[in-house]
Structure formats: C-alpha cells, structure tokens
Amino acid sequence: MDTIDREPLPGVPQTAFRPAGLLALLMIAAYFGVADPIDLGVSPLALEQGRWWTLVTHMFAHAGLIHLAFNALVLFFLGGPIFVRMGRGAMAWARFMLFFLACGLGGAFLYVALNPASIIPAVGASGAVFGFVGLMARLPFMRPGQPMPQVDANGIRPLTGELLLRNLFLIGILSLAGLVMPIAWEAHLGGFLVGLLLGPLFLQRRNPPVRR
C-alpha cells in the first residue's frame, strides 16, 4: 500500500517539519536534562575562560518553559516552509542545520560584541529562530523556481539597503524590545540579520533554463 505524505501547509509535506522537530526535541532534552542552563550560556566571560562551546550550547539552553515553548514552536512552524526550499535528502538536512547554527552564531557574536564587559550569559535559540524569521521576510522577493541571483560587489549594497529598509519596522521592534524586557535583543537582531542577508545562500540553487 502506498503511503501519502499529507501537507499541513500547501506545498509543505509533513516530513519537512522533521529537522525543526529534531532541534526542538534537543532543546527539550537540554532543558530537562541540564541542572543549570546558565552553564551552557554564552557571554564574554565564558569565552575568556575558554568555554567556546557555549557559542553552540546556548542555543539549546532556555531560561524557562515559556521561553522554551516559544522558540520551539516558532522554529517548528517556520522550519517546514523553509526546509522545502533547501532541496531534498541529506543535503537539505545539512543546509537546514548549518543555517540554524549560522543564525545562532550571528546572534551570539552580536550579543558579545555589544556587551564586551557583561558577565551575564545569554541562553536560548532565539537568535537562530529570528534568523528563520529574517529569511521568511526575504522569501516573498524570490519567486518559486527563480534562479539564485548572482550579486557582485556593485550590487550587494543596494540589495542590502533595500532589504533592510523593507524590514526596518521589524528590526526596530527587535531592537526596542530589549529596553522594556530583560531579553538578549542583540542576539535576536544578530540572528535576524544573518537570516535576512545570508539566508538565501542556504537555499537550493536552481540552474536557469537553457535556451536551445
């Protein structure tokens, strides 16, 4: 009997949610399996002490159930639509995981860069999750089946400016949020910018049609 892969969203089969689901399970396992998530957090102090692994482990540690639930759910629901744009098989899985790590690292680096004297560690997958938000903000500009544009040095500045201007409101919300809530808004903003500007590099490249 043939199996049918249902589509919770148009063009997004159930299997496309598996990579994000796996990451969410790892977050849940880290939350309930680690005595003190602060030990996994990233900070200038942690890096000075040689704990470079916190650049990665902070993405899986969370400060509370609400924090964990928000990141896991947003990652899960955005992960499927993005995964289908990354191809198929092992290569798509590799692109997805590398994109998640790249966005999380972007968030960590901006947090550390803007808080060089802080001893407070940042935890959570929020930087990586906002990277998915950044890529989703750019996807409407890319038509399905459109070849990956080759952007040279002369074209990258106007492209970057256009993307930032069109998403200025969201970037402003992320930046201002840290003024009223105790969140690592720098990590949110860093991840968002990585997804916005570099996200398409992780998508499947399509060859343009050959004229005969």
Q: What is the pLDDT of residues 108-117, one digit of tens each?
A: 999 999 999 8
Question: What is the structure's pLDDT at 12?
Answer: 80
Residues annotated as catalytic are 126, 188
What's the number of domains the chain is made of? 1
Q: Is residue 9 part of a domain?
A: no
**Residue 183's CATH number:** 1.20.1540.10
Q: Is residue 135 part of a domain?
A: yes
pLDDT tens-digit readout, 181-199: 556 788 888 999 899 889 9
H/E stretch holding 201: none
Cα separation values, 74 from 116, 140, 162, 196, 205, Å: 29, 19, 26, 17, 25
Q: Is residue 2 part of a domain?
A: no
Tell me the C-alpha distance between 78 and 99, whole Å.
Answer: 13
Q: Is residue 100 part of a domain?
A: yes
Q: Is residue 1 part of a domain?
A: no
Question: What is the structure's pLDDT at 110?
Answer: 94
Q: Is residue 124 part of a domain?
A: yes
pLDDT tens-digit readout, 137-183: 877 655 444 444 444 445 455 555 655 565 565 556 555 544 445 56
Contact (Cβ atoms closer than 8 angstroms) between residue 86 and residue 102: no
Contact (Cβ atoms closer than 8 angstroms) between residue 137 and residue 171: no
Report the percent of the chain where pLDDT is more than 70: 70
Q: Containing domain of residue 49, as a range?
A: 14-144+153-202
pTM (2 d.p.): 0.79
Nearest to 108 by CA among 86, 133, 125, 132: 125
